[in-house]
Amino acid sequence: MKKILYTLAAGVMTLSLAACGANGDTKSAEKENKAKTAESSGQQDQTKQQKEQQQQAEAMQKKMEKQKVDDKKTVALVNGKAILGSDYNTALSSTQMQMQQMGQDPTSDEAAKQVKDQTIESLVGQTLLLQEADKKGYKASKTEITKQMEQLKQQYKGQDKLEAAMKQQGMDMKKLNQQMADSIKFTKYMDKEVHAEKVTDEEIKKYYDQYSQQAQGQKLPKLEEVKPQIQQQIQQQKKQEKLSQIVEGLKKNAKIEVKI
């Protein structure tokens, strides 16, 4: 508001000086004043819009926070293994983000149950797979954990910044080490136990054609240029499907109790 008043005052001063001189300068000053006023008004509208967007984001964050549970609460038991609220809240944030990326409101009445069920489903599946990896003897060595930790420190540019980031997420270094160990075990299990069918040229061509249709006339790279990336994407999808089948098989012989 102060900026607009200043612009208008400056315009009035310009007009007064012009009146004492040549009349031709008056029109020029009026145009300049209108341009400045329009620019100032546009900036004010933009600032107002930014504030509204920020307020909406903050309101959404508060709603998402309400979906969390107590960190120490047991949300589920999988073969006697407790899944705690702290794990649930971390996975919940990921589920909420995925829904937002798809343009959905994770806090709506319709989505609330879906968010909870999807988060629990993910945690139960993850726990079953890690239990299976343990049974088959897959382990993470101290050397492997230390190597991953050093890579993570480099990404965050130091131990202090890494610890600060972990604190913001409600984690400590002990829990981070455990998650790294689980990640290493899971990767080993995936590499050795989850075998997907080979990706065919026909599947790659079909994937590319479908993407081309969705691109709606946008210029795309040639198939041969992106073939390796498409092959990798399809391979990952096949592995995920295979993994889902394994989880469903493990569920049949598992004792699962959901507590929320």
Q: Residue 9: pLDDT above 50?
A: no
- On whether residue 199 sits in a domain, the answer given is no
User: Among 146, 169, 193, where does a domain finish?
Assistant: 193
Closest C-alpha among 178, 222, 186 to residue 204: 222
- On whether residue 175 sits in a domain, the answer given is yes
The string of DSSP letters for 161-219 reads: HHHHHHHHTT--HHHHHHHHHHHHHHHHHHHHH--PPPPPHHHHHHHHHHHHHHTTT--
State the pLDDT confidence band at 41, using cuts at 50, 70 and 90. low
- On whether residue 23 sits in a domain, the answer given is yes
Q: Residue 42: pLDDT above 70?
A: no
Greater model confidence, 168 or 232 = 232
CA distance 154 to 164: 14
- On whether residue 214 sits in a domain, the answer given is no
User: Among 17, 35, 50, where does a domain finish?
Assistant: 50
Number of independent structural domains in the chain: 2
- On whether residue 149 sits in a domain, the answer given is yes
- On whether residue 255 sits in a domain, the answer given is no
State the pLDDT confidence band at 168, using cuts at 50, 70 and 90. confident
Query: For the chain, what is the mean pLDDT?
Result: 83
Instruction: Tell me what pLDDT residue 28 has.
Output: 56
State the pLDDT confidence band at 123, using cuts at 50, 70 and 90. very high
Residues of the domain holding 35: 2-50
- On whether residue 243 sits in a domain, the answer given is no
pLDDT tens per residue, range 81-102? 999 998 999 899 889 988 888 8
User: Among 193, 211, 226, where does a domain finish?
Assistant: 193
Beta strands in 24-94 (DSSP E): 74-78, 81-84
Q: Residue 144: pLDDT above 60?
A: yes
Mean pLDDT: which of 37-51, 187-201, 213-227 is highest?
187-201
Instruction: Tell me what pLDDT residue 165 has.
Output: 84
Rg (CA), the chain: 29
Instruction: Tell me what pLDDT residue 120 has.
Output: 96
- On whether residue 6 sits in a domain, the answer given is yes
pLDDT tens per residue, range 204-256? 999 999 888 887 778 889 999 999 999 999 999 999 999 999 999 999 999 99
**Taking residues 30-54, what's their average pLDDT?**
68
